[in-house]
């Protein structure tokens, strides 16, 4: 792929800037920051554009940390990408001089015979992952911070843990800058259009650029920037809570593995106490509040706290102490809750790298590499068919949305 030769102009802020790049990345969060670094280390002229700060608390990648796990109940096809993500998180933290990946072990928990356990087990068996099946009493004996009903069981996988999410973005952004990338915060993407003969023209609220390839990794705003995705990328308000444990030693990293727990009162995910005070817990599809990203409330409420306390009371009573913090974040969900990683058919120079349906951050290091491969080589070494825009589950949803609008 031929490189675009940059030109310079003098902008209103008094500094010389390139207007042409090999690749422009819109959104410098988890995926975008990793993509900028992977592209810059390949000596590509790359520009990252971020509407807010780098990092920020407006999107999907804040809240101190995010779970990473190999036993993947969502689909076995994720596991090869996860293995690469682990390698790249280790490389990133080595180069950054800061630990980002913390291994605690992970558990997928549900009632006996539940999908979460059975599908995690399927991924483990298919990809030869070490694992243990534990009864509720075995979990209580080993990890007494968990208080599971007798008819629950857990799949334990030793490699699970968490990634320090905001610090990971900082690390990737600094590595990208050191490798020659240009990153611009507080600059809003407006639109793009294909250029006759190839390439894309990108307009922001500050400048106009040209690029050979455009990567859009804008999370909850992707449906606004790429209108064809509006019905396929639905923002959802989430709330995370940190609670003071009544018995702190039960929730330390060495005593409490990260986990996903599906139950009749909700699908909860939880972390040991780390870096900030409190035991962290979240609830998938919190109140199922959907809408434009800018229209969803960022202010937590007592109702949000109550929803999280239901999980504490049922399964983690020793952590059901005073509230220490509540924070909102955004999920952006596809109808089948799998990612979108694909080119736009009508403008193949544009690669879309979101939404990630609330379970994507752990993959950010590997997705950054995948995006760099797509932008520079035209293909990835991974099978990305599960994330294609023309997959059947998305095509049906798009057809339904179009029919509803027509009616």
Residues 185 and 312 reside in one and the same domain? no
289 near 277, Cβ under 8 Å? no
- Interval 255-283 mean pLDDT: 98
Residue 183 lies inside a defined structural domain of this protein: yes
Tell me what the pLDDT averaged over the chain comes to.
Answer: 93
Residue 351 lies inside a defined structural domain of this protein: yes
Total Cβ atoms within 10 A of residue 220 = 27
Task: Read off the pTM.
Answer: 0.93
| CATH number of domain containing 106 | 3.30.9.10
Residues 271 and 376 reside in one and the same domain? no
DSSP class of 47: E
SS3 of 157, please? strand
Final residue belonging to a domain, choices 286, 305, 333: 333
Residues 246 and 136 reside in one and the same domain? yes
9 has a pLDDT exceeding 80:
no
Final residue belonging to a domain, choices 302, 317, 333: 333
Residue 153 lies inside a defined structural domain of this protein: yes
382 has a pLDDT exceeding 70:
yes
139 near 261, Cβ under 8 Å? no
Distance, CA of 225 to CA of 212 (rounded, Å): 18
- In the chain, pLDDT over 70 holds for what percent of residues? 93
Distance, CA of 225 to CA of 190 (rounded, Å): 8
52 near 221, Cβ under 8 Å? no
Residue 66 lies inside a defined structural domain of this protein: no
Residue 274 lies inside a defined structural domain of this protein: yes
Residues 146 and 266 reside in one and the same domain? yes
| CATH number of domain containing 55 | 3.50.50.60
7 has a pLDDT exceeding 60:
no
Domain span at residue 270 reads: 102-160+234-333
At 381, give phi and psi (nearest 5°).
-75, -10
Residues 317 and 395 reside in one and the same domain? no
15 has a pLDDT exceeding 60:
no
Residue 372 lies inside a defined structural domain of this protein: yes
Residues 396 and 356 reside in one and the same domain? yes
Pull the structure tokens for residue 231. Answer: 């019905």
User: How many domains does the chain fold into?
Assistant: 2
At 276, give phi and psi (nearest 5°).
-125, 160
Would you state the pLDDT for residue 186? Answer: 98
Residues 203 and 119 reside in one and the same domain? no
Residues 243 and 324 reside in one and the same domain? yes
Residue 83 lies inside a defined structural domain of this protein: no
Residues 299 and 278 reside in one and the same domain? yes
403 has a pLDDT exceeding 60:
no
Residues 274 and 309 reside in one and the same domain? yes
Would you state the pLDDT for residue 354? Answer: 84
Would you state the pLDDT for residue 4? Answer: 31
Residues 155 and 172 reside in one and the same domain? no
Distance, CA of 268 to CA of 283 (rounded, Å): 4
Residues 226 and 248 reside in one and the same domain? no
In this prediction, residue 355 has a pLDDT band, given cuts at 50, 70 and 90, of: confident
Final residue belonging to a domain, choices 303, 333, 363: 333
Residue 269 lies inside a defined structural domain of this protein: yes
288 has a pLDDT exceeding 60:
yes
Pull the structure tokens for residue 390. Answer: 């023309």
């Amino acid at each position: 792929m031929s490189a675009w030769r940059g030109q310079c102009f003098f902008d209103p802020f008094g500094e010389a800037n390139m207007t042409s790049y090999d690749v422009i990345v819109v959104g410098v969060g988890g995926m975008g920051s990793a993509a900028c670094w992977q592209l810059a280390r390949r000596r590509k002229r790359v520009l990252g554009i971020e509407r807010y700060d780098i990092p920020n608390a407006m999107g999907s990648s804040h809240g101190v940390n995010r779970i990473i796990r190999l036993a993947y109940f969502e689909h076995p096809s994720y596991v090869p990408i996860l293995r690469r993500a682990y390698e790249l998180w280790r490389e990133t933290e080595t180069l950054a001089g800061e630990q980002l990946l913390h291994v605690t072990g992970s558990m997928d928990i549900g009632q006996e015979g539940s999908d979460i356990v059975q599908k995690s087990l399927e991924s483990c068996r298919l990809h030869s992952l070490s694992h243990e099946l534990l009864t509720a009493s075995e979990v209580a004996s080993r990890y007494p911070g968990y208080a599971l009903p007798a008819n629950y069981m857990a799949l334990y996988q030793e490699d699970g843990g968490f990634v320090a999410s905001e610090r990971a973005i900082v690390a990737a952004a600094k590595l990208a800058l050191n490798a020659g990338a240009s990153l611009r915060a507080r600059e809003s993407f407006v639109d793009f259009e294909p250029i006759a003969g190839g390439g894309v023209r990108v307009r922001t609220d500050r400048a106009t650029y040209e690029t050979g390839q455009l990567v859009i990794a804008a999370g909850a705003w992707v449906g606004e920037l790429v209108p064809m995705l509006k019905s396929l990328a639905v923002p959802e308000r989430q709330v995370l809570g940190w609670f003071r444990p009544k018995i702190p030693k039960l929730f330390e990293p060495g005593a409490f593995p990260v986990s996903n727990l599906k139950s009749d009162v909700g699908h909860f995910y939880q972390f040991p106490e780390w870096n900030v005070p409190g035991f962290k817990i979240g609830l998938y599809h919190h109140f199922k509040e959907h809408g434009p990203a800018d229209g969803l409330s960022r202010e937590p409420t007592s109702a949000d706290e109550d929803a999280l306390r239901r999980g504490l009371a049922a399964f983690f009573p020793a952590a059901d102490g005073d509230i220490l913090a509540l924070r909102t974040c955004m999920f952006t969900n596809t109808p089948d809750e799998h990612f979108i990683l694909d080119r736009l058919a009508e403008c193949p120079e544009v690669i879309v790298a979101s939404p990630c349906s609330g379970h994507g951050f752990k993959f950010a290091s590997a997705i950054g590499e995948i995006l760099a491969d797509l932008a520079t080589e035209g293909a990835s070494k991974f099978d990305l068919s599960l994330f294609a825009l023309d997959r059947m589950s998305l095509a049906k949803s798009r057809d339904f949305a179009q029919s509803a609008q027509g009616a």
